[in-house]
Every structure is written in structure tokens, then in C-alpha cells.
Amino acid sequence: MSELSNLLYHVYRMTPHQIVSKEESEKINLRKNRLERIIDTIKKNYESQIKLSDIAAQENLTRTYVSHLFKSSLGITFQDYVNNLRLEQAIRLMSEGKKSLLEISFESGFSDPKYMFKMFEKNLHCTPRDYRKNLSSSSAFQNRDLSARETIFSEARSIDYLKSCPFYKIVKKPELTLDYSDKKCDMASRNYM
């Protein structure tokens, strides 16, 4: 238990955090809810022509605000997010193997097949045709059982793995002395850091 407590302490220390006021918390929740609504709208409509200005109008915001919200929250632009969804859909449709690349392009939401080709080359470093060829010839792609790639550690192996982490070190535990003379527990005034 002491090793687990020590590990949790280090995770806490290494994780960036801050205490926020109620007003700040409400602003964060408002922003989070707004972003969730925007993402939900995009996921429902990415196969059609979707514009940043339409999303901004739906939320009664400026295009600039929505653009900054996306970039600061997700680390990518609005257009990159939409293109990633379209690319994922194109890959799903390719794995079915029944449609032409032209059909896949339009069903994925790309307005032009050349743009889908560009996205494949940019993100996957191959053409859609090459990707499909590799998909059909590779048994690894045909057998997508994720459990085959999953590693389940025993308790002992988990502890050994954690001990190999750079932040893990065994610290000599200080002697614990209890003084009940003042019969008062003042945990807030103690510095545990």
C-alpha cells in the first residue's frame, strides 16, 4: 500500500493542475459543453459540405472564436478535424472493399477525389489505391482482432514494470510518531509536498 501511495503521490506531483474558482469552473464547463455540441454537429454532418461559418452561426459565435476554440482545445484546426473524420470514413469504406474510390471519396464527404488523394498522401504517405492494395494483400489488415495486440500484465509483472519507470524509487519511510496530546487533527496545516 505504501508503494501505491508513493506512486499516486508522484503522479499527482507530475500532473499539471490548479484550483479554480466557481466562476472559472462555470466558464470551463460552458466552453466544454459548447465544444461537445460543435463536435457532435461535425460528426453528424462531415459527409456533407460543412463550413466553419455554419458552425459559428449555429452557436452564435464568430468564426474567429470557433477557430481559436478548436485550435486551443484540440490542437488542430477545424478543417483538419473535419478532414481526419472524412479520412477515417474513407478507410472504413475501403475495408469493406465493395465501392470504387470515386464513390468512397464522395461518401466520405470529400468534394473532390483529388482532395482525398491529397489527404491520403499527407497523412498515410501513400495513395488510396496503394492503401487498398496493401489492405487486401495483408492478412494483418484483414484480421483486425485488437485483443491479439493487447498485453495483460500479472500483478507481479505490473509492479516490475512500474519499478522500471524513471520516476519510481524506493524511499526510506520516515518513522511515524503520533502525538495525541492536543487531541486535534490539523491536516491542512501540514505540508506533504
63-119 residue pLDDT tens: 999 999 989 998 999 999 999 999 999 999 988 878 888 999 999 999 888 999 999
Q: How many CB atoms lie within 10 A of CB 20?
A: 11
pLDDT for the residue 157: 76
pLDDT for the residue 118: 92
35 vs 141, which has greater pLDDT?
35
Long-range CB contact pairs, 122-130, < 8 A, 24+: 123/84, 123/87, 128/90, 128/94, 128/101, 128/104, 129/101
Does residue 144 carry a pLDDT above 70? no
pLDDT for the residue 17: 78
Does residue 13 carry a pLDDT above 90? no
pLDDT for the residue 38: 93
pLDDT in tens, 24-77: 999 999 999 999 999 999 999 988 888 999 999 999 999 999 999 989 998 999
- Per-residue pLDDT band for 164 (boundaries 50, 70, 90) equals confident
* pTM listed for this prediction: 0.60
* Cell numbers at 83, concatenated: 478532414
- Mean pLDDT, rounded, of the chain: 79
Interatomic CA distance for residues 108 and 99, integer angstroms: 12
pLDDT for the residue 158: 72
Interatomic CA distance for residues 15 and 17, integer angstroms: 6
Domains of the chain and CATH, by start: 16-140 (1.10.10.60)
pLDDT for the residue 31: 92
Does residue 139 carry a pLDDT above 60? no
- Per-residue pLDDT band for 150 (boundaries 50, 70, 90) equals low
pLDDT for the residue 169: 55
Interatomic CA distance for residues 67 and 43, integer angstroms: 17
